Chains A and B, each alone.
Chain A
Amino acid sequence: MTTKFVVGYDGSAASRRALDFAMERAAAVGATLIVAHVLEWSPYSFLTPTELEERHKRRGEELARAENHLMAPLKSQLAGQGVTVETVIRYGHVADTICDIATDSGAAQIFVARKGESGLAARVFGSVAGTLAQCAPVPCTIVP
């Protein structure tokens, strides 16, 4: 069975650094890289009646946008670098969902960027990297 790595990717420069780092590691050990893009979503948020009505349509649009503008270009860019790349787009709480993806795919490691937020906002709301450091089911590398 091939080793699998999961990397969180949202298109930002920081997440690109994490992706590049994970690519290097994956190439070194011959691992498959699962690039995970999580759309922040809570089933307990509050929506207006119009938002409820359009939700299914919007979800389709959001998934298509993520696939066409983020994941598909990335896949073609990473092709031919000697690493098998899979992509996955999911809805949910970002850190929890990355953990789920790692568990479900039997991944050996998680790579994630940190945005370098400090101060009050980070203390109050926490960060994806911080949460993953606390609850990742497998070793987690946080790329600065």
Chain B
Amino acid sequence: MTSLSKAAALAAPVAMLSAVPALAQSVDEKVNQIFASSTGWFVNFIFSPFPGTSFPWIVMWLVIAATVFTLYFGFIQFRAFPHSIALVKGDYSDPNDAGEVSHFQALATALSGTVGLGNIAGVAVAVGIGGPGATFWMILAGLMGMASKFTECTLGVKYRNEYADGTVSGGPMYYMTKGFEERGIPAGKFMAILFSIFCILGALGGGNMFQANQAHAQITNVVGEFPGWITGLIFAGIVFAVIVGGLKSIASVTEKVVPFMGVLYVATALVIIAMNADMIGWAFGQIFAGAFTGLGIAGGMVGALIQGFKRAAFSNEAGVGSAAIAHSAVRTKEPITEGFVSLLEPFIDTVVICTMTALVIIITGQLVSDPNTGLYLLDEGASTIQTVDGNKGVALTSAAFSSAFPFFKYILAIAVILFAFSTMISWSYYGLKAWTFLFGEGQTKELVFKVIFCIFVVIGASASLGPVIDFSDAAIFAMAVVNIIALYLLMPIVKRELDSYLSRLKSGEIKKFS
């Protein structure tokens, strides 16, 4: 072969390869346009601020709900905390029930659905815009969110469907239909249908496309640019193998590695914090000062508060209703025990893991402040804080961790991919449950959803579909609108369960087994 024909032979596939992204580009633009024009109103509605402020009403909706549940159940998240730990340890589990789903397993599975990009990228966004003060509000929102989780997961177990073959289905759609009927409240079925629609959209968007997209972004961050559809196809193939092919080994490997990654992440953060032990006091000083004064960030105290609350809600999903689906499979005679266990979820996710991320970013000095005034310096757009290398989002977290351990960015990349994958597996399940609630159970019907889910993995990874991702986030929050209305209406039932359980616990009727 002559050198000319060699060059031609090489050029042809190269030209084809370069044509693919161009084609994908135009497809992306089309998808963006269609989505933006047809769903923009919905996104704008969900994230619209209170008149005259920049505070999105949906964030307020979640915070008010968390506050109401906290007060209504008398600060249950603090009162029941030791008992929750005892339940997870299995102190109250009947040894004869060994082999059934334990409290620990339900909690671990639910956690692997929530611990993810919100903890790594989301927190960096919050601190990058809201400054260290956002951490304070994030922790507060996490602590309050524990009461929301408690309420929804108790109801999830109480009103789940148990089938003759021993399988269970639970979640907000079931407590909306059965719980409302029990209390004589109309429109339960309507609410359940509405919730299911939002849940499917949320599963395809925030629980899928957003994850695939961010995983691809993290991979390119480490290995360099390459087309997203490659990542998408690989991810979709693995997801397909797991959810359609029933290839349990991949899923169980992920389920084992994800907690390990979580522990490694927190441990590394603790080491970095310990290495800068003299800065801890200063960092908390910044967090408290920032929480109430803003320390020069855009929007001041309110700016910090919005970012903290918003990212906490994104991260721990308290009040969204997704956890109620995950927790409903546990084997227990007392639904309230699963409520107790689930309240640990926002604690681990937000109060522990998110706070670690924030502390590492603050302590490693990623945010640039004026040495004279102590106020943070803003970027040109005056919306975000200047960072040392101009990093934002997941890159900011990566830079903070790498400043202490340069190799950590590789570990973080693996962690992000695994977290994204486990979140996808969890949301494929949540979406499927909503799908079967709407269309009924059946292999073909389930297969249709699973295939759609895999297609959306590819779409999600292929390009930055801004409006699509906005829409899917909005759908997840729309779940919270419907779910929290149901929680308000059904919370007396949870209260009754709680009072009965606590009195039996006190009288010794409920015994410890170990």
- The judgment on whether A and B are partners is yes
Enumerate chain A interface residues (CB-CB to B < 8 A).
Answer: 39, 41, 43-57, 59-60, 62-63, 90-92, 100
Which among A41, A43, A63, A90 is the interface contact of B90 at CB below 8 angstroms? A43
Min CB distance A95 to B, Å, is: 14
Inter-subunit contact B105/A47 (CB<8 Å)? yes
Min Cβ gap A51→B in Å is 7
Q: Is residue B259 within 8 Å, beta carbon to beta carbon, of the partner chain?
A: yes
Produce 1/0 per residue, B92-115, CB < 8 A to A: 010100111110111011001100
Interface centre among A41, A44, A52, A54 (most CB of B within 10 A): A52
Given A46-B109, A48-B248: A53 touches B329 (CB 8 Å cut-off) = yes
Interface of B: prevailing SS? helix
- Asked if B166 and A49 make an inter-chain contact with CB atoms under 8 angstroms apart, the answer reads no
Say whether B259 contacts A91, CB under 8 Å.
no
Q: B161 → chain A, closest Cβ, in Å?
A: 11
Assess A59 versus B99: contact at CB under 8 Å? Given A48-B248, A49-B426, A52-B329: yes
A39: chain B residues at CB < 8 Å are 99
User: Which one, B127-135, B212-220, B249-257, B355-363, is touching chain A?
Assistant: B249-257
Contacts of A46 in B (CB 8 A): 105, 108-109, 112, 252, 255-256, 258-259
Q: Besides A46-B112, A48-B251, A91-B98, 8 other CB < 8 A contacts? A: A46-B259, A49-B113, A49-B329, A52-B330, A55-B100, A56-B100, A57-B166, A57-B167
Nearest to B163 among chain A residues (CB) is A57
- Asked if A62 meets B99 with Cβ closer than 8 Å, knowing A43-B105, A48-B252, the reply is yes
B155 surroundings in chain A (CB, below 8 A): none
Q: Are A41 and B425 in contact (CB under 8 A)?
A: no
Q: Can you offer 13 A-B residue contacts whose CB atoms are under 8 A?
A: A43-B105, A46-B105, A47-B252, A49-B113, A53-B169, A54-B166, A54-B167, A55-B101, A55-B331, A56-B100, A59-B100, A63-B99, A92-B98
For residues 157 through 177 of chain B, which have their beta carbon under 8 Å from a beta carbon of chain A? 165-169
A64 to chain B, nearest CB (A): 11
CB neighbours of A47 from chain B (8 A)? 101, 105, 108-109, 252, 255
Contact check, B425 vs A49: say whether CB atoms are below 8 A apart: yes
Q: Which residues of B contact A91 (CB under 8 A)?
A: 98-99
Q: How long is the Cα–Cα vector from A53 to B425 in the complex, in angstroms?
A: 14
Closest Cβ of chain A to B309, distance in Å, is 28
Q: How far is the CA of A51 from the CA of B256 in the complex (A)?
A: 14
Residues of B near A100 (CB, < 8 A) are 95
Residues of B within 8 A of A59 (CB): 99-100, 166
